[in-house]
Amino acid sequence: MAIKLLREVEAQVNRPFEVKLAETREIIRHHLDEFGSRVAVAFSGGK
């Protein structure tokens, strides 16, 4: 069963792995630069 994708989506999905990996690393780098120095704490309230 093949899934029919929009051309734009298919172009993104079928990119080479190395391109996707580089993009993911850039997103992570940007996230760490932006939010890495902030401390975040989650507390469930003991529930």
Residue type (1 letter), 12 = Q
Nearest alpha carbon to residue 16 among 24, 7, 28, 4: 24
pLDDT digits (tens, 9 = 90+) for 1-47: 677 889 888 898 899 999 999 999 999 999 888 888 777 777 777 76
Residue with tokens 């704490």: 41
Residue type (1 letter), 23 = E
Please name the residues in contact with 5: beta carbons below 8 A apart, sequence gap of 6 or more. Answer: 13
pLDDT at 37: 79
State the CB neighbour count (10 A cutoff) for residue 9.
11
| pTM score of the predicted model | 0.58
